[in-house]
Structure 1
């Protein structure tokens, strides 16, 4: 089993990735300001922005693999937050520190927001990388720098463009989180008209796809998505059904951003054919699982 350095282990995707890595017997070392909740992990409490401390810690850990998930992710704010620039700089520093420590394989989480959303189906080979937000631009910049520098640094590097994850620990401001919060507090769940279509993927499948990529030798971006577009309204209605609050959905009161595209969906052929990874959950079984776990937690 490998010694793996994991960032973002206390985050939405990171906590699931940590669980899967520990379940398969890997020695996982987590770096971050908040300790990981899994007792099997080796916690190293450190701010990744502290460039003076990162290099000696990464050297001391001596991991062969690194899964870098940490980034600024406050709902709604992250799209244009200047903190994206800080995370771009911190990610570059981490990459250099990991390479200098003798690390071999680094995989980082990117985003579908790197793409030109005017294209209906987003694929790695032909869709232009033309992000509209500072978040997307920062992620795309790191991807380009990582892919370009990895051979010079002696690294094998992979990049995952993650689409729209959901799961039992969604924040209240997010789509599933809005339904769960309404179920817990007895209030209504307010949405826009919900006609926009998105590629939703269960967070457990995102984590599993990232780990597949970590253990592969693919060195070009890979979409991590379901490959299926579902309207926001249909997603909310399914979630509300399993939460038992179908009568408390309110559509049309929230306003969707004028810049929101009608459709965002991944071409997943590279993920299924080259990476040989297929998500476990369908949209219905995934929502059922996420709602059930959220209401039990």
Structure 2
């Protein structure tokens, strides 16, 4: 990548989100000038409040489905703008499709104009409800394009196709990271995903809601491990998709029990109907990341959850105080 004076410049779309804000922190630590772009539809100004006043950090409130203007040179673009939880993309299905298509097109166009490297945040959801386990990058997936989850799954699959088209046709330097379930501080406790939901319910003394019989599995990655993988991919010369996730697989029922034990809660577990097209298994094969990036997760689930607990305790406390 080229340099601009003594500092490289990076644009992070969705930079006020859970993952985006952690990436802002990391690239600032690595000496970059960071431009954070977010329309705050699912991101939060609170996630980047600690960066305001840093001369190397700039925030632009903008919807990336519209024309993107950034003055000066750019070395790198991380395209992370998108709703990412089922609650969000079921409430904003068209916006989710637009940010995956129009937003990706606008961001790629900017990367081409600036001769910048482009890294796309894709997802394990491109594998759908997989018929191959664990999931390797070569697997094409099992996705229902017209199902409720299709708005997110297909938006990301389309975004991958567009990134590769720009790479092949325009010679643009593109990178694709397929992100598996990630957790840590700055998650929204009402975003509908299993971990924040279980944490909120357990810390509030409410029953934990498990869908189906809880036998479906997930693999949870601590956010610091994910950020390290993304950093390494952004600095590498590898152009094919790379899974970044923790292969430590757990059933949702066992995971709920772990959260109850971790929080010391007396909460019970209740069962509700499984949502349509909910993946039955999810586990990354990280062989490619190990070989290409010399990366693997450093935190096991127990350690990562302990690090995250204090954050959720504070968020639940704030929520209870605001409603009292």
Does the CA-based 8 Å contact 2:16-2:37 persist in structure 1?
no
| Cα RMSD, aligned residues only | 2.0
Out of 205, 208, 214, the position equivalent to 1:189 is 208
C-alpha separation between the residues in 1 aligned to 2:60 and 2:278? 39
Aligned in 2, Cα 1:101/1:18: closer, same or farther, shift over 3 Å?
same
Unaligned runs of 5+ in 2: 1-6, 145-149, 316-324
Partner residue of 2:112?
Answer: 99
Partner residue of 1:266?
Answer: 284
- TM-superposed deviation, 1:268: 0.5
Partner residue of 2:264?
Answer: 244
Aligned in 2, Cα 1:143/1:63: closer, same or farther, shift over 3 Å?
same
C-alpha separation between the residues in 2 aligned to 1:238 and 1:198? 13
Out of 212, 222, 226, the position equivalent to 1:206 is 226
Secondary structure of the residue aligned to 2:308 is helix
Aligned in 2, Cα 1:270/1:74: closer, same or farther, shift over 3 Å?
closer
Aligned in 2, Cα 1:30/1:243: closer, same or farther, shift over 3 Å?
same
Does the CA-based 8 Å contact 1:191-1:250 persist in structure 2?
yes
User: Is it true that 1:226 corresponds to 2:265 in the alignment?
Assistant: no
Does the CA-based 8 Å contact 2:13-2:79 persist in structure 1?
yes
Does the CA-based 8 Å contact 2:85-2:193 persist in structure 1?
no
| Deviation sequence 1:110-157 (CA, Å, 0-9, x none) | 0111125122211012x1244322311111111111112124334210
Aligned in 2, Cα 1:259/1:46: closer, same or farther, shift over 3 Å?
closer
Partner residue of 1:26?
Answer: 32
C-alpha separation between the residues in 2 aligned to 1:142 and 1:202? 25
Secondary structure of the residue aligned to 2:63 is coil
- TM-superposed deviation, 1:101: 2.0
- TM-superposed deviation, 1:16: 1.2
- TM-superposed deviation, 1:207: 2.1
Counting matched residue pairs gives: 288
Please give the TM-score of this superposition, normalised by the length of structure 1. Answer: 0.89
C-alpha separation between the residues in 1 aligned to 2:225 and 2:156? 21
Unaligned runs of 5+ in 1: none
Aligned in 2, Cα 1:258/1:95: closer, same or farther, shift over 3 Å?
closer
Partner residue of 2:152?
Answer: 135
Q: Which moved more, 1:164-173 or 1:191-200?
A: 164-173
| Deviation sequence 1:192-215 (CA, Å, 0-9, x none) | 332111121112222221121111
Secondary structure of the residue aligned to 1:238 is helix
User: Is it true that 1:235 corresponds to 2:255 in the alignment?
Assistant: yes
C-alpha separation between the residues in 1 aligned to 2:306 and 2:268? 17
Secondary structure of the residue aligned to 1:190 is strand
Out of 300, 307, 323, the position equivalent to 1:282 is 300
Secondary structure of the residue aligned to 1:182 is helix
- TM-superposed deviation, 1:92: 0.8
| Deviation sequence 1:181-240 (CA, Å, 0-9, x none) | 224433332223321111211122222211211111110000011122111122222222
C-alpha separation between the residues in 2 aligned to 1:10 and 1:82? 21
C-alpha separation between the residues in 2 aligned to 1:227 and 1:145? 28
Please give the TM-score of this superposition, normalised by the length of structure 2. Answer: 0.82
Secondary structure of the residue aligned to 1:76 is helix
Secondary structure of the residue aligned to 2:201 is helix
- TM-superposed deviation, 1:248: 0.2
- TM-superposed deviation, 1:74: 4.9
Matches within 5 A, 1:56-95: 57-58=69-70, 60-78=71-89, 81-87=93-99, 88-95=101-108
Does the CA-based 8 Å contact 1:167-1:176 persist in structure 2?
no
